[in-house]
Amino acid sequence: MPVTATAAPALFDLPYAPLAKRPLPAGRPRDWYITHNRRLKAMRLAIALLDSGVYLPQHAHNRRIRATAELIGIRPPSDTTCHMVRTLMRYAR
């Protein structure tokens, strides 16, 4: 008996389209916005490092994180953001 695929394609098989950006909520202290954007940047970098084969935080040195940032087209991260990337990689395991 032949098997045929009739299910809809999985979501991750579709072409990538970034989500529409929404404005951040107004009225928060400036530090909140700085921390929020730093977390987003750290998440993007951690995902890019994992995709490139860097799975352990001790292999993600500042130099490698900054090279990855240049590769994906974002500004070089600060030392604080690099530390946050390693922390995200550590707790994602």
Condensed to tens digits (0 to 9), the pLDDT of residues 25-50 reads 999 999 999 999 999 999 999 999 99
Residues 49/68, Cβ–Cβ less than 8 Å = yes
pLDDT attached to residue 93 = 61
What are the pLDDT digits (tens) for 46-79?
Answer: 999 999 999 999 999 999 999 999 999 999 999 9
pLDDT score of 6: 55
Residue 11, pLDDT above cutoff 50: no
Residue 3, pLDDT > 50, answer yes
d(Cα 71, Cα 65) in Å, to the nearest integer?
10
The pLDDT confidence band at residue 91, using thresholds 50, 70 and 90, is: confident
Distance between CA atoms of residues 62 and 49, nearest Å: 12
Between residues 66 and 17, the one the model is more confident about: 66
- 15: tokens are 């072409």
**Residue 14 DSSP one-character state:** S
Both structure tokens of 74: 């974002």
Contacts of 38 (CB under 8 A, 6+ apart): 80, 81, 84
